[in-house]
Amino acid sequence: MSLRLRLLNLGLRLLVKPKLRRMKDPQNLRDSLERDAARFFVCPEDANFVADLIRRPQPPAKVGMIEALWASQGRPDRRRVILYLHGGAYIAGSPRTHRHLAAALAGAAGVRAIVPDYRLAPDHPFPAALEDALSSYRHLLSAGYDPSEIAVAGDSAGGGLGLALLLKLQAEDLPRPACYVGFSPWTDLSGQSDTLRRNARRDVMLPISRMKDATGFVLNGHDAKDPFVSPVFGDWSAPPPALLFAGRHEVLLGDSIRMAEVLRATGGDVTLELWRHTPHAWPIFVGRLPEADHAVATAGGFIARHLCAQPE
* Catalytic positions, written as ranges: 156, 250, 280
CB 158 within 8 Å of CB 86: yes
Closest CA to 53 of 99, 116, 126, 104: 116
Residue 293 DSSP class:
H
- Tally of CB atoms within 10 A around 271: 13
CA–CA dist 133, 249 (Å, integer)? 29
CB 311 within 8 Å of CB 73: no
| Strand ordering across the sheet containing 65-73 | 47-55, 65-73, 111-116, 77-85, 150-155, 179-183, 242-247, 270-275
CA–CA dist 200, 187 (Å, integer)? 17
Which string of b and e fits 4-35 if b means at least 16 CB within 10 Å? Answer: ebeebbeebeeebbeebeeeeebeebbebbee
Which string of b and e fits 280-297 if b means at least 16 CB within 10 Å? Answer: bbbbbbbbebebbbebbb
Residue 78 DSSP class:
E
Residue 88 DSSP SS3: coil
Host H or E run for residue 244: strand 242-247
Q: How far is CA 245 from CA 15, 107, 120, 284, in A?
A: 24, 19, 24, 12
CA–CA dist 124, 140 (Å, integer)? 23
